[in-house]
Amino acid sequence: AQSVTQLDSQVPVFEEAPVELRCNYSSSVSVYLFWYVQYPNQGLQLLLKYLSGSTLVESINGFEAEFNKSQTSFHLRKPSVHISDTAEYFCAVTFSWGAQKLVFGQGTRLTINP
């Protein structure tokens, strides 16, 4: 069965410090990978996605993630975080077959301290 594991439930960092949010998946078939961000009492916003091509994908607000097939990982990174990045981050995968449902990780709470 396919699954997604976010290894850290909470990550506290200081403003302007770098951060990495880890995501590993388990699947026997090809996957498509996503990172979503959720601000308090809001829905999820698509942050970035990997469908094919370059394994390094970037978002418009400075986040990037790299698909590593051999390590079955899709870690999210940002070189310098801001207070406004405080949110819940969800890693998710879907597959090219079937109903193409999203399988979510447990989420990582990123807290930026001044």
Partner 1 sequence: GAVVSQHPSRVICKSGTSVKIECRSLDFQATTMFWYRQFPKQSLMLMATSNEGSKATYEQGVEKDKFLINHASLTLSTLTVTSAHPEDSSFYICSARADRAYEQYFGPGTRLTVT
Which range in 20-28, 30-38, 53-61, 70-78 contacts partner 1 by CB under 8 A?
Answer: 30-38
Q: Bridge-partner residues for 4, per DSSP?
A: 25
Taking CB under 8 A as the criterion, the residue among 23, 75, 81, 105 binding partner 1 is 105
Total number of residues binding partner 1 (CB under 8 A)?
Answer: 23
- Tell whether residue 13 is a contact of partner 1 (CB under 8 A): no
Cα separation, 16 vs 80, whole angstroms: 4
Distance between CA 12 and CA 100 in Å, rounded?
A: 33
> Binding to partner 1 by residue 41, rule CB under 8 A?
yes
